Structure 1
Amino acid sequence: MMRDDVLDALVGKLSTARKVRLLTGATTWRTAAEEAVGLREMVFSDGPAGVRGESWDERDTSVLLPSASALGATWDERLLRELGGLLASEAVRKGVDVVLAPTLNLHRTPLGGRHFECYAEDPELTARTGAALIRGIQEHGVAATAKHFVANDSETDRLHVDVRLSERALHEVYLAPFAAAVEAGVWLVMAGYNGVGGTTMTAHPLLSDPLKGAWGFDGVAVSDWAAVRTARETARAALDLAMPGPRGPWAAELLRAVEDGRVPEAALDDKVRRLLRLADRVGALGEPGRRRPATPPAAVRRLLRRAVAAGTVLVRNEDVLPLDPNALATVAVLGAHAAAPRLQGGGSAGVFPARAVTPLDGIRAHLRGRARVIHAPGPSPDPPPAPLDPGRCADPRTGEPGVLLRCLDAEGRELSAERRLSGRQLEPGLPAGAHTVEISALLRPETTGAWTFGVGGFGRLTLSVDGRTVLDEVRPRDTDDPAVVHVTPPLRTVRAHLAEGRAVHLVASRELAPGTGRATVVVAAPPARDPESALAEAVAAARGADAVIVVVGTTEHDETEGRDRTDLSLGRRQDDLVRAVAAVHPRTVAVVNSGGPVELPWRDEVGALLLAWFPGQEAGGGLADVLFGRAEPGGRLPTTWAASLADAPVTSTRPVGGRLDYAEGLHIGYRAWLRSGNRPAYWFGHGLGYTTWAYERVEAPGRIARDEPLTVRVTLRNTGRRAGREVVQVYLARPGSAVERPVRWLAGYATASAAPGRRTTVEVAVAPRALRHWCPGGGGWRTEPGPYRIVVGRSAGAPEWEGETVVGGSEPPPP
């Protein structure tokens, strides 16, 4: 890495104006180049589900990983490091220097709309998982970005919400994963849109301390996209880079602020020095460094398939799983999600995979030549209509699969035209003079009836079917949220009657009014089947099958960036499907396809229950491996699942008067459940494998010095008939503490593996930080002397052993 004195010399070569120019993006995804110091542009890309690159183009495909909640469920840092390497490989393939991942915010409430992009409800699990991914990305010369600093844990009013929380909750819970990211060497930290304690995060003192002060972060503090709204406050703070560009509050105002002394030149120099240090790290300064070569496609598929199984959580198994393929003649695979699963959450993290293996595909592939697989979708879960796609539509000019995208001027003259593969066009190239985006297609209906059509976007929207206008209205822009404006604009839908097999010509257009973005979405959906007959078909299929697998899940209405959920229900139709099928086949296997917790009122009626999250492109292969015993379900819950939303102790996502109070303090997730005395459906840390374990011996020191690590040795025996993996979890408690504490909190974990009948011993390392608490008012971190309870268990609610250690020494007085 380039020495600081060398960086200082480079900074000294630049005028104030050139320094300022470097600190605002040159484009949406690039920083500015500076020939005078040998600096090239650096390219950023969204993550963490994959590396999309600079364009929202469905033809530019990306590898799609399981969602962050699925990765949090693995409790496997080695796997996360491998997946980080895969992200680095994808970044190199796409010419990307900086990946905007990982997301280190927490599952504070089950209603969080962006649950899928965060790892866990617990700061320790989030910290270790995120640090592993960071190391995996950066060891190959690609930068990771810890986001969104800090307390950006829900989506409602996310651009302006002011979060209020105690000093202890801030430091012990919400900052903890970011501190671990800095310890892991992360190269960027992204400041969120929200405020904390009355100050927006892009101007917050926390960027100075603890981030750059106590923690010693030497990287770049970058804004979330368009999160910088003022110049002086943010520039005087420790923010280093305002994205995107080239226009923004810093572009001209920052130069004036430095020249008139409102922003010190030394502060400007520090920002530029950090940017150059980042450029050196990623090979954008001087001679380019070595970067990881692309991962072969077969190796990518194997890794992602393994990740699916590793994150799948088995929460119930009445001796049903694994299924024996040799004992099956007919297998019924039920539910719309079996053939059309949700592979990723909605919003800016979305990518376009080149291939996707559905659960139905995976099961059929595994049973090919052995058993007959039948599929009945059951009643529709009422998803939003899907964008036009090549399977149903053709370019009206060429007849090739896809749609025709045209840009027109104000007089309707064609400026550009190209065939695209999707009716979802988020960032089409716009030639000079573009006034209207038009998407047209020949649609061949496979069903007679009232089809649903829609156009998404802001401004004037029109839609015609065979020359007949069915929609013409103006949708004013009513939000500043970039995820809504640029990724998931609102849909306006209409219905039109179509006849099976008779092609119709659809033409949708959107006028490009100033400030309405470029996103245009055109959707179409056939008439929904009668729910009763669809349910009867599924029940009949289940009744005649040797094994039944029913897949249910959330829709794009439920889990997406830009809005929180209002309930946890899968909807009556999906609940009725599972209940009806389980009634005729009690050994039914239910698979839940969601990014976060949902209500499962039928959970005790099925023979087995798997939580599959949003599993990414290899969903079906990994799920089949678990179902048929080729792989163990390796997941353990990274967040507690409530039986019903009414039971959940923390649910608030909606600000009052612009403020969102974290009134629960330290007590989120399982901590809140333990404090309330209520029992959830499934505890944090819960998960079953295909074997059983006996906790035979636990050894822990009876006394440790203050700031001394604690090592807990646990001996287990595999009491089942298969080799397996167990996640040994160590929690701490401090009865009688002089300060408020959780009932218990996760302090460390380790994984154990053993063959049937064999013993194994694992050591769980508990770092000194796990015993510390934050002393408000300048007291800093403190360790309270005295007895601590050590709880070893399989989940937050299932202790297997309890003991005690005494922390010696007196606590020093506050400074």
Structure 2
Amino acid sequence: MSPLLPPAVPAHGPPAAPVDDGALRRRLRRLDPESKVRLLTGATLWSLPGEPRLGLHPVVMSDGPQGVRGTGEEPGATGLLAPAPSAVAATWDPARAERLGRLFAAEALRKGVHVVLAPLANLQRTPVAGRHFEYFSEDPLLTGTLAAAVVRGLQGGGVAACLKHYVANDSETDRTRYRSRIDERTLREVYLAPFEQVVDEAGPWSVMAAYSGVDDGTESAPMSEHRRLLRGVLKEEWGFDGPVVSDWAATRSTVASALGGLDLVMPGPGGPWGAALAAAVRAGEVPEDLVDDKVMRLLRLARNTGRLGEPWEPGAPPPPPRRGPVPPAGGPTEADRALLRETAARGTVLLRDAPGLLPLDPAGLTAVALIGPNAVSPYLQGGGSAFVPAARTVSFADGLRAALPGSTRLTVHRGGDSGRHAPFVPAALLTDPDGSGPGVRADHLDAAGERLGGEVRATGDWGCYRDFPPGTRRVVLRTVLTLGEAGTHRLEFGCAGRFRVEVDGETVFRGDDDRGVGLVLDSSHHHPGTHGVDLAVGGSGPRRVTVTADLTVVDADGYGRFVTAHLRHRPPGHDPEAEVAEAVAAARRADVAVVVVGTDEETESEGWDRTGLELTGSQNELVRRVAAANPRTVVVVNAGAPLLLPWAREVPALLWAWLPGQEAGHALADVLLGRTEPAGRLPWTLPARAADVPVPDALPDDGVVAYREGVHIGYRAWDRAGTAPAFPFGHGLGWTTWAYESATAAPAPPDGPGGLRVAVDLSNTGPREGREVVQVYLEAPPGGPPRPVRALAGFTAVRAAAGARVRTVVDVPERAFRTWDPDRGRWWTPPGRYRLRIGRSSRDLRLSVDVVLGDGRPPTG
């Protein structure tokens, strides 16, 4: 039993030495109220205004968090595509997360970006959340620790992080309108906790307010207007001194948002501030000193990112900023790509390896069958704002071919189509109706129907098409399809906004959605609804079909103007059973079968939540039949969020490979062939049955998402229910085995944040060197407020050679013991006997240590 804990320290420690803002305030006096207000709305989709009189250069933002997309001003620009955040979380490695943040900073500087809209500190409350892959974990501590590391890496490289989405924007359905109803204690202990940790430990230079709202029992408002959470908690209580940025097109009011604590409205120009806010200041509805505070926060951001220099005369060429980070010379390096490759491999979770099948010995492989929809089309990144156009991608097939001996025969088989939609029409079927070459012709028309120009593209994918002159009101797509194969051909059309689609002069599909920016906010511009048409082709020869799509240009405010049209085709004779049979036959002939199943761009994306956890198409049947045909079958799951795997205990080996980014193929080959240990651990719980999922959806009821489960999120809810998941939070096997021998706890050093330091002795009892993630869970004493059965309180990783014994130390911060007292509005630590459980996952706990806190009086602070 440990001695009494030392007295608790304040949650945020001693205040940091303030940076002198006097010079910024002197600059600010040069501006009249209208000029100040002008600085608070974006000048473009991605940039803020400059101001010569302040020496303020435009601050440019860009999306993350799988890389840095850039602003789109450079056509064809590409970048590094990192593993998704849930894959990074699976490494349980803050140092690696910080290295990735540094990499993102270098990418941002190459692209002229000063603020990266990342990381996300929202929680994986429900496994069907559309942005689940963008969140780190279902646990507040793991989320906060890794998010803080990414922020340190970004800002250590001179680029601002924009921590998002503050707060409780944990699902996508109706995300711009719903309000999360959360009791104050749950809000403090669970959903605010990772944001508070990041602000405390890493000091982000900006924070983004969520689209959704919060009803905390005291105030119910959209987050862009939530005075209690923005001004009261974030700024006043936590001491955050940077700007609060709106999510794109999220601001719906002038006075309420200005008073509520929002500082910057994006995108621009336009929006609800500008002249309306200036008028509100003149009328006394918004104090001018509040506007001054907003501009000061912007100036601090500019100073931190090197965008503040000497003032210059308006209209004169601006001098360079006084100082700032220097973009790295040249493009991404091999070291950069190696970091992405190693992260994807180390984050891979070995869920099961019953017969010791892995790793494979390449010298003993004469034939390998790579099978599955995701083996042919890997899903490397989730849809929505996280998307990064990658400079290169390595498919699973290419990665294995490069790693296997030249004498090994690798065959690739889809084994059935898992997509909900038909593929895009191949260029070979498309003919420009006004020319002799292939393609789809786009005519750009003005309001009077006069042609302004056009172009031809050899694709059926016209998603978010913007390449037309400013006066364009309509884009008319025309093509002729040559359908040669006898039988029934399926055409599918997907369009956004106001449109009409004709086939051989007959209208088959139309729409009249005039929401504008609403099409962007719910991702309809990327994933529009579809309509199918069946066309019969006889045996007498090809059938030529004329297709016309008349599209009205969507004006989406700061997002610009665009049209979206998808033209898809499925030929006759599509036979999933034949594909499965072919794959099974290939598996039977091979030394080993590698089956890759998972999700795709139709499944995991910003803009909507999933409707279930099932694998699409015939993927479950494919896995079972291949495993039955070859006892040496490795199943790889290529997905960012949980899926139901009804065969999980039937297959010999099972790996979770996430959305692995550009180095996917190399990373998987490294794992399969034993070059890199799959040392990942699940950052969320994998359910065995849909009925067991604690929060199966987050559908708003009359505009409200009720967080009725309280503090029991993720594995905490599974523990409270006593239900067995398929694999628990924190689970992962690696290449070796571990024996946990002993543990002791002692007070942390007095110069630290308080809490305990837990020393753990363990031995590598397996045949290979390995990495172990030592996890410590806290069980609170009975009595007092209801607490989780156990909650993650600390973790660390240790490496050891085969047969070696090592000691590692896990810090358990004081905040792990505390709870929020809503009656007194403060944190306190209930006295009593606490138990620290130590082990390999939330359900595999090998050791325990009891500690006693307090003497009947809660500690102060």
What TM-score range do you get, normalising by the shorter chain? over 0.9
Cα distance between partner residues in 2 of 1:101 and 1:270: 24
Code of the residue aligned with 1:136 in structure 2: it is G
CA-to-aligned-CA distance 1:252-300 (integer Å, 9 cap, x gap)? 2111111111111110000000001101111111124123415534223
Cα distance between partner residues in 2 of 1:138 and 1:358: 32
Check whether the contact 1:460–1:511 (CA below 8 A) recurs between aligned residues.
yes
- Partner of residue 539 from structure 1, selected from 574, 579, 584: 584
Check whether the contact 1:56–1:426 (CA below 8 A) recurs between aligned residues.
no
Q: Per-residue deviation at 1:438?
A: 4.2
Cα distance between partner residues in 1 of 2:854 and 2:406: 66
What is the aligned partner in structure 1 of residue 150 from structure 2?
Answer: 133
Check whether the contact 1:773–1:782 (CA below 8 A) recurs between aligned residues.
yes
Check whether the contact 2:499–2:549 (CA below 8 A) recurs between aligned residues.
no
- Partner of residue 207 from structure 1, selected from 230, 242, 254: 230
Q: Per-residue deviation at 1:666?
A: 0.3
Cα distance between partner residues in 2 of 1:494 and 1:352: 32
Q: Per-residue deviation at 1:558?
A: 2.1
Cα distance between partner residues in 1 of 2:537 and 2:112: 45
CA-to-aligned-CA distance 1:742-777 (integer Å, 9 cap, x gap)? 000001100010111112211101111111111103
What is the aligned partner in structure 2 of residue 436 from structure 1?
Answer: 474
What is the aligned partner in structure 2 of residue 331 from structure 1?
Answer: 368
Check whether the contact 1:455–1:508 (CA below 8 A) recurs between aligned residues.
no
Check whether the contact 1:447–1:526 (CA below 8 A) recurs between aligned residues.
no
Check whether the contact 1:632–1:690 (CA below 8 A) recurs between aligned residues.
yes
1:311 aligns with 2:328: no
1:245 aligns with 2:271: no
What is the aligned partner in structure 2 of residue 522 from structure 1?
Answer: 566
What is the aligned partner in structure 2 of residue 344 from structure 1?
Answer: 381
- Partner of residue 456 from structure 1, selected from 495, 514, 517: 495
- Partner of residue 337 from structure 2, selected from 301, 311, 315: 301
Code of the residue aligned with 1:223 in structure 2: it is S
Cα distance between partner residues in 1 of 2:535 and 2:480: 15
Cα distance between partner residues in 2 of 1:767 and 1:214: 20
What is the aligned partner in structure 1 of residue 312 from structure 2?
Answer: none
- Partner of residue 709 from structure 1, selected from 743, 755, 760: 755
**Which consecutive residues of structure 2, in runs of 5 or more, have no partner in the other structure?**
1-17, 310-320
Cα distance between partner residues in 2 of 1:42 and 1:447: 55
What is the aligned partner in structure 2 of residue 321 from structure 1?
Answer: 358
Check whether the contact 1:347–1:483 (CA below 8 A) recurs between aligned residues.
no
Q: Per-residue deviation at 1:91?
A: 1.0
What is the aligned partner in structure 1 of residue 445 from structure 2?
Answer: 408
1:552 aligns with 2:591: no
What is the aligned partner in structure 2 of residue 285 from structure 1?
Answer: 308
- Partner of residue 643 from structure 1, selected from 681, 688, 706: 688
Question: Secondary structure of the residue that 2:834 maps to in structure 1?
Answer: strand
CA-to-aligned-CA distance 1:290-347 (integer Å, 9 cap, x gap)? 2341553422321111111021111001211111111111111111110101111121
Code of the residue aligned with 1:290 in structure 2: it is P
1:562 aligns with 2:607: yes
1:18 aligns with 2:35: yes
Check whether the contact 2:375–2:595 (CA below 8 A) recurs between aligned residues.
yes
What is the aligned partner in structure 2 of residue 166 from structure 1?
Answer: 183
Code of the residue aligned with 1:764 in structure 2: it is V
What is the aligned partner in structure 1 of residue 133 from structure 2?
Answer: 116
Q: Per-residue deviation at 1:736?
A: 1.0
Cα distance between partner residues in 1 of 2:40 and 2:465: 24
- Partner of residue 677 from structure 2, selected from 632, 637, 642: 632
- Partner of residue 714 from structure 2, selected from 669, 674, 688: 669
Check whether the contact 1:49–1:350 (CA below 8 A) recurs between aligned residues.
yes
1:103 aligns with 2:141: no
Q: Does the C-alpha gap of structure 1 residues 201 and 536 become closer, same or farther in structure 2, counting only changes over 3 Å?
A: same
Q: Does the C-alpha gap of structure 1 residues 45 and 708 become closer, same or farther in structure 2, counting only changes over 3 Å?
A: closer
Check whether the contact 2:376–2:413 (CA below 8 A) recurs between aligned residues.
no
Check whether the contact 1:396–1:404 (CA below 8 A) recurs between aligned residues.
yes
Q: Does the C-alpha gap of structure 1 residues 803 and 513 become closer, same or farther in structure 2, counting only changes over 3 Å?
A: closer
Q: Per-residue deviation at 1:604?
A: 1.1
1:489 aligns with 2:528: yes
Q: Does the C-alpha gap of structure 1 residues 374 and 234 become closer, same or farther in structure 2, counting only changes over 3 Å?
A: same
Code of the residue aligned with 1:382 in structure 2: it is G
CA-to-aligned-CA distance 1:616-657 (integer Å, 9 cap, x gap)? 111111011111111111210000010011111222401211
Question: Secondary structure of the residue that 1:581 maps to in structure 2?
Answer: helix
**Which consecutive residues of structure 1, in runs of 5 or more, have no partner in the other structure?**
none
Cα distance between partner residues in 1 of 2:191 and 2:839: 24
What is the aligned partner in structure 1 of residue 101 from structure 2?
Answer: 84
Cα distance between partner residues in 2 of 1:107 and 1:239: 26
Code of the residue aligned with 1:582 in structure 2: it is A
Q: Per-residue deviation at 1:581?
A: 0.8
Cα distance between partner residues in 2 of 1:573 and 1:614: 21
Q: Per-residue deviation at 1:441?
A: 6.5
Check whether the contact 1:723–1:756 (CA below 8 A) recurs between aligned residues.
yes
1:150 aligns with 2:167: yes
Q: Percent identity?
A: 47
Answer with 516-525 or 613-622: which moved more.
Answer: 516-525
Check whether the contact 1:58–1:421 (CA below 8 A) recurs between aligned residues.
no
The TM-score normalised by the length of structure 2 is 0.89
What is the aligned partner in structure 2 of residue 193 from structure 1?
Answer: 211
Cα distance between partner residues in 1 of 2:464 and 2:66: 18
Code of the residue aligned with 2:472 in structure 1: it is A
Cα distance between partner residues in 2 of 1:394 and 1:313: 47
Code of the residue aligned with 2:610 in structure 1: it is R
Question: Secondary structure of the residue that 2:203 maps to in structure 1?
Answer: coil
Question: Secondary structure of the residue that 1:674 maps to in structure 2?
Answer: helix
Q: Does the C-alpha gap of structure 1 residues 26 and 447 become closer, same or farther in structure 2, counting only changes over 3 Å?
A: farther
CA-to-aligned-CA distance 1:369-406 (integer Å, 9 cap, x gap)? 03101111112113434456779879888999986655
User: What are the within-5 Å matches in structure 2 for residues 563-712 of structure 1?
Assistant: 563-571=608-616, 573-701=618-746, 708-712=754-758
Check whether the contact 1:58–1:352 (CA below 8 A) recurs between aligned residues.
no
Q: Per-residue deviation at 1:428?
A: 1.2
CA-to-aligned-CA distance 1:167-189 (integer Å, 9 cap, x gap)? 11101110111112212011111
Q: Per-residue deviation at 1:704?
A: 11
Cα distance between partner residues in 1 of 2:528 and 2:170: 22
Q: Does the C-alpha gap of structure 1 residues 252 and 400 become closer, same or farther in structure 2, counting only changes over 3 Å?
A: farther
Check whether the contact 1:68–1:118 (CA below 8 A) recurs between aligned residues.
yes
Cα distance between partner residues in 2 of 1:115 and 1:529: 33
Q: Per-residue deviation at 1:476?
A: 2.2
CA-to-aligned-CA distance 1:583-608 (integer Å, 9 cap, x gap)? 11132111111110000001111110
Q: Does the C-alpha gap of structure 1 residues 402 and 644 become closer, same or farther in structure 2, counting only changes over 3 Å?
A: farther
Code of the residue aligned with 2:493 in structure 1: it is G
Cα distance between partner residues in 1 of 2:852 and 2:480: 74
Q: Does the C-alpha gap of structure 1 residues 352 and 498 become closer, same or farther in structure 2, counting only changes over 3 Å?
A: farther
What is the aligned partner in structure 2 of residue 476 from structure 1?
Answer: 513
Answer with 367-376 or 153-162: which moved more.
Answer: 367-376
Question: Secondary structure of the residue that 1:283 maps to in structure 2?
Answer: coil
Cα distance between partner residues in 2 of 1:586 and 1:628: 18
Check whether the contact 1:728–1:751 (CA below 8 A) recurs between aligned residues.
yes
Check whether the contact 2:44–2:267 (CA below 8 A) recurs between aligned residues.
yes
What is the aligned partner in structure 1 of residue 553 from structure 2?
Answer: 512
Cα distance between partner residues in 1 of 2:748 and 2:395: 53
Q: CA RMSD in A?
A: 2.8
Question: Secondary structure of the residue that 2:363 maps to in structure 1?
Answer: helix
Code of the residue aligned with 1:166 in structure 2: it is D
Check whether the contact 2:116–2:161 (CA below 8 A) recurs between aligned residues.
yes
Q: Per-residue deviation at 1:148?
A: 0.5
Answer with 567-576 or 185-194: which moved more.
Answer: 567-576
Check whether the contact 2:716–2:788 (CA below 8 A) recurs between aligned residues.
yes
Q: Per-residue deviation at 1:246?
A: 1.0
Check whether the contact 2:554–2:562 (CA below 8 A) recurs between aligned residues.
no
Q: Per-residue deviation at 1:23?
A: 0.6
Code of the residue aligned with 2:225 in structure 1: it is A
